[in-house]
Structure 1
Amino acid sequence: MTTAEQTWTESTTEVAGLTVRYLQGGSGPAAVVLHHSSGNIGWAPFYEALSQKFTVIVPDLPGYGQSERPVWARDARDIAILVNRFLAQVAPEETTLIGLGFGGFIAAELATMDQERLSSLVLVGAAGVQPEEGELLDQMLIDYPEYISAGFRDEAHYHEIFGEEITKEVRELWEFSREMTARLSWKPYMFNRRLPHLLSEVETSTLVISGSEEKVIPITCARQYTAGLPNATLKIIEGAGHYVAYEEPEELASLIAGHAGI
């Protein structure tokens, strides 16, 4: 899933003795995107749209994709610590931090430990808090393609992105990613009971986004983030599912640029 003419570069850096791979494209203020728990499949249309206003940096989270696995990591906060060190190297100035799904969990954890690094925070279908209503869809209990498909508004949009048959490479990425996610966020699944108590001190301007057809992370989680963060605004994207960045890349990029005042 790349553009016809490559507009991005691929690089690596070392964080805490681990090799971290990242993609970068565009120009302007830095925007770092933390991917879903399924991993990153390439330079997606959302990144390209965002790169019209930002220098977009997309790391493979430590333990995912082509980034080295921190065998000692046991929760999302451990990954947030590593991402914070990554930011210090590749985006040392104030950064717009965008977290998608599980990446939103990492972004929220990072904001509680080093908000001064962030010019703005964007949480899209973010995990991390225990839903007051509804249930988190547990990827450990169902076939992974079924889990991914549930994140789209309908099956047609799922096949539009991944095709009728999942390639061997994508399936291997998904299984490798699920194994790492199990290490980090199985019990409890996809939330940290301590996180809500830390959000009230995060003064960073935050945009919380959820799709109206969300079936993976209950919309109530977005509302809980909005209530818990003192400078948060909630936006529901009508017709979108969990994977807003796949389904509505242009709209999402526009919302983020507007929130950042660009």
Structure 2
Amino acid sequence: MVKAPEVQYLTIHGHRRAFVKEGQGPALLLLHGLGCDHTTWAPVIQTLARRYTVIAPDLLGHGLSDKPRGDYSVGGYANGMRDLLTVLGIDRVTVVGHSLGGGVAMQFAYQFPERTERMILVAPGGMGPDVTPAIRAISLPGFNAAMGLVTLPGVRHVTTGWLRTLAASGLSAARDLDEVATIVDSFKDAKARSAIRQVVSALVDWRGQVVTMADRAYLTEAMPMCVIWGTDDKVIPVRHAGLAAEMAPGATVEVIANAGHFPHKDHPQRFVKIVSDFIRTTQPATYHRGRWRALLKAGKQTPLPAEVSRLAAEEIA
């Protein structure tokens, strides 16, 4: 049996942050999804750690990290990841984000391009408005009260047991319910419920996802990007992988068959191979202010016009 990585803690800005750090080599920052924590990466951490330094934090409001009343925007999370990496003495990373973590990864790359070598986005938010109604419901006024009842000791055990039984049934539509059961169990903590509601309120309204990368997708011209999706994703539809390919034509898009919203858990070996091959076959992004300025001036034009490409090359030279 593989031993679970040791959880470490750092206090930054007065808030305790939990994380695991394993392996040696180029740094990978693994960012989990809404309501999850670092354990969502358990099937792949040890294998990735054979080649890379893997840092997998619990975002504030999740897992073993503190759950303060504070800033739970993707920008706030990106700032927190920069500060964590700074304290750990890590200057540059390939950032890997799942679901909510994908949105944070995109924001991190946007805010701190000088610290980002590549982006790997796993069923990320921010590609389009569609999202499961279960997540939209979190922003509704009655969420805290309803979850307070669902997570009462007896009710919680029945609910999570039922979800895990369905997950073990082999039905493709139920494949992610084991992870949902873990999320529901975490909601027994009122502070966790409040934090998750703050996160969702900043990202989703009754029409779906509010935060989008569409207006900044052209910046991926300067950074290698890989998008990974499962064909049976019931949380964010796999057709968003096609939207990602349209918004960032230079991106690598991998769709994994017979996988749901957590392809890194459904097919960990395939996931590790995709990540490793992508890193092996791409050069890390090199930040240059002139190049970044040229991209910003070009705006939404994709691919970059030839004259801007020449300007960028001249400025870099």
TM-score by length of 2: 0.68
Change (3 A) 1:235 1:5: closer
Matched, 1:186 2:204: no
Select the residue among 42, 45, 52 that pairs with 2:43.
45
Select the residue among 114, 121, 124 that pairs with 1:116.
114
Counterpart of 1:56?
Answer: 54
In 2, the alpha carbon distance for the partners of 1:223 and 1:260 equals 22
Given residue 9 of structure 1, which amino acid in structure 2 is its aligned partner? E
Given residue 94 of structure 1, which amino acid in structure 2 is its aligned partner? R
Deviation at 1:71, TM superposition (A): 1.5
Most deviating of 55-64 and 134-143: 134-143
Select the residue among 250, 255, 259 that pairs with 2:269.
250
Counterpart of 1:197?
Answer: 215
Structure 1: segments with no counterpart, 5+ residues: none
Given residue 129 of structure 1, which amino acid in structure 2 is its aligned partner? M
Deviation at 1:22, TM superposition (A): 0.3
In 1, the alpha carbon distance for the partners of 2:126 and 2:27 equals 24
Counterpart of 1:261?
Answer: 280
Given residue 12 of structure 2, which amino acid in structure 1 is its aligned partner? V
Counterpart of 1:27?
Answer: 24
Select the residue among 81, 84, 87 that pairs with 1:83.
81
Deviation readout 1:156-205 (Å, 9 max, x if unpaired) = 7457x66xxx57xx643255555422202236517344632123223220
Q: 1:1-262 maps to which residues of 2 (within 5 A)?
A: 4-6=1-3, 8-40=5-37, 42=39, 44-90=42-88, 92-131=90-129, 135-139=131-135, 141=137, 154=172, 157-158=175-176, 171-174=184-187, 176=189, 177-186=192-201, 188-189=203-204, 191-193=209-211, 195-202=213-220, 203-229=222-248, 231-261=250-280
Given residue 225 of structure 1, which amino acid in structure 2 is its aligned partner? A
Change (3 A) 1:37 1:112: same
TM-align CA RMSD: 3.2
Change (3 A) 1:138 1:91: farther
Alignment coverage as a number of residue pairs: 251
In 2, the alpha carbon distance for the partners of 1:47 and 1:99 equals 14
Most deviating of 243-252 and 140-149: 140-149
In 2, the alpha carbon distance for the partners of 1:247 and 1:137 equals 23
> Retained in 2: the 8 A contact 1:140–1:178?
no
Most deviating of 135-144 and 114-123: 135-144
TM-score by length of 1: 0.81
Structure 2: segments with no counterpart, 5+ residues: 139-149, 151-158, 282-317
Given residue 260 of structure 1, which amino acid in structure 2 is its aligned partner? I
SS at match of 1:65: coil
Deviation at 1:6, TM superposition (A): 2.4
Rg larger in 1 or in 2? 2
Given residue 75 of structure 1, which amino acid in structure 2 is its aligned partner? S
Deviation at 1:56, TM superposition (A): 1.1
Deviation at 1:155, TM superposition (A): 6.3
Change (3 A) 1:58 1:255: same
Q: Which structure has the higher relative contact order (CA within 8 Å, separation 6+)? A: 1
Deviation at 1:213, TM superposition (A): 1.1
